[in-house]
Chains A and B, each alone.
Chain A
Amino acid sequence: NAGVTQTPKFQVLKTGQSMTLQCAQDMNHEYMSWYRQDPGMGLRLIHYSVGAGITDQGEVPNGYNVSRSTTEDFPLRLLSAAPSQTSVYFCASSYSETGANVLTFGAGSRLTVL
């Protein structure tokens, strides 16, 4: 059981470039989400999904897009990278569609935007 798999682990981008962070889970979880973690701040929710075909915005959605075409995959797209998007990104999933249960996190993706 792989759990939640995120790729890549590290990425350096130039301002204005676009990229996709991949997230896949093999636990048949309905709820999936993307967080960013910055020093001195709590985890902040970017986007989330309660099932295939359903996505919604979190606290800090600007500059990011998501889609959920299958239960397993929930990619996060950065449309035009900015230095303010330098952060560590975590994908997390939960068996509860409300997300109000235990979250299983991926290993994280460290993104630097120059």
Chain B
Amino acid sequence: GQNIDQPTEMTATEGAIVQINCTYQTSGFNGLFWYQQHAGEAPTFLSYNVLDGLEEKGRFSSFLSRSKGYSYLLLKELQMKDSASYLCASSDSNYQLIWGAGTKLIIKP
């Protein structure tokens, strides 16, 4: 079947680095998305990976290994505003998205 797993909750300290992992089993895999969702708000796009490797965008980076069915989102120099849920989603052979339940990231001062 098709499945996405990511940790339910993580805690990190302001100024530190955190890595949020996502594993997937998706038939006809067509790419991996990361979205950020603040409490009570809509998800917003962070990154998209379709090839193996690291994509860097400022303080945020996303990595993909297609052979391992694995991705991570790396957040550097954490700020309080990074407290949010981070949603991992894979695209299948029909380009439909399969969503993980999200990782709630708590940033402590």
Contact = CB atoms under 8 A, between A and B. Distances in A.
B97 A45 contact: yes
B95 A108 contact: no
Contact of B102 (A42, A106, A108): A42
A98 interface: yes
Interface residues of A, number: 20
Contacts of A104: 45
Contact of B87 (A43, A44, A45): A43
Interface string A43-85: 1110000000000001000000000000000000000000000
A27 interface: no
The A interface, classified by DSSP as helix, strand, loop or mixed, is loop
A44 B87 CA distance: 13
Interface in A90-108: 90, 96, 98-108
Contact of A99 (B42, B45, B96): B96
B54 interface: no
B99 A43 contact: yes
A42 B87 contact: yes
Q: Which 7 A-B pairs have the closest CB atoms?
A: A42-B99, A100-B95, A105-B42, A98-B95, A43-B99, A102-B45, A42-B101
